Amino acid sequence: MRPRILLVVLGGIALAVMVAASAHAAARPLRPADAALLNRPATAEERVAEAVAKRLTRLSPAVRCGDLGVSAPGGGLVTGITLLPPHGPADYFLLLPQMCTYLSLFRQSPESYDPDACQDSACLQRASNVALALATVSHESYHVLGYRLEKQVECYGMQSIWFVATSLGATVAEGQRIAAYYWRTTYAERRVQTPTYWSAECRDGGTYDLRPATHGWPS
């Protein structure tokens, strides 16, 4: 893979206990480290993420976990990144290693991360981290499909959290509860913290409603 300048869409979403906001779109050259990540065999955790992305996009994007090579303003943390060449979306994206770990943990025991079953703040924090990981892989998958407007991609990704969750073994009800929790917490905070990722049209019946005929928002 020859180095060239790519447009990078940062699908990063803020970790609840670590950062206050996430990065916006930026551009950077393709790094040698990116090629190295793609050329090595996928780890078990990466294969989990790839399987989810394949089901969601109906394509076969490669997913790698590693250093994203970007930083967010104000001490924020980017959790995923999709490289978009000038003439269309790339066929891979990168995830922060923590996101891959959360996806793998969720796959082992989906019921353990149901926010409605939590009895303490530690449990809710684990549920928040997993919801963030589910939202990140979903968000990046929509970038792979060619969507570039962050507020649209974030809304579509949130509405697909339940699908990602069920792809990893959760029941539909569990997936819907996780999506609803993300909507009430992380997405609600975006209006102030990261307005580029928020839209008043991301609602039941709004412009970005993927299923306007149903009303089980956001699933």
% the chain with pLDDT above 90: 62
Q: What residues contact residue 119 under an 8 Å CB cut-off, 6+ apart?
A: none
Residue 5 has pLDDT above 50, yes or no: no
Higher-pLDDT residue of 132 and 83 is 132
Q: Residue 20 has what pLDDT?
A: 37
The average pLDDT across 3-30 equals 42
Q: Residue 127 has what pLDDT?
A: 96
Cα 38 to Cα 74: distance, rounded to the nearest angstrom: 30
The average pLDDT across 132-153 equals 92
C-beta of residue 69 within 8 angstroms of C-beta of residue 28? yes
Higher-pLDDT residue of 30 and 178 is 178
Q: Residue 73 has what pLDDT?
A: 62
Listed by start position, the domains of the chain span: 5-197
Cα 202 to Cα 207: distance, rounded to the nearest angstrom: 7
Torsions phi, psi of 166, nearest 5?
A: -70, -30
Cα 167 to Cα 191: distance, rounded to the nearest angstrom: 29
Cα 80 to Cα 192: distance, rounded to the nearest angstrom: 21
For residue range 182-218, what is the model confidence (pLDDT) as tens digits? 999 999 999 998 899 999 999 999 999 999 999 889 9
Mean pLDDT of the chain: 84
Cα 6 to Cα 215: distance, rounded to the nearest angstrom: 39
The structure's pTM equals 0.87
Q: Residue 89 has what pLDDT?
A: 61
Report the side by side order of strands in the sheet with 62-65. 26-29, 5-10, 80-84, 92-95, 62-65
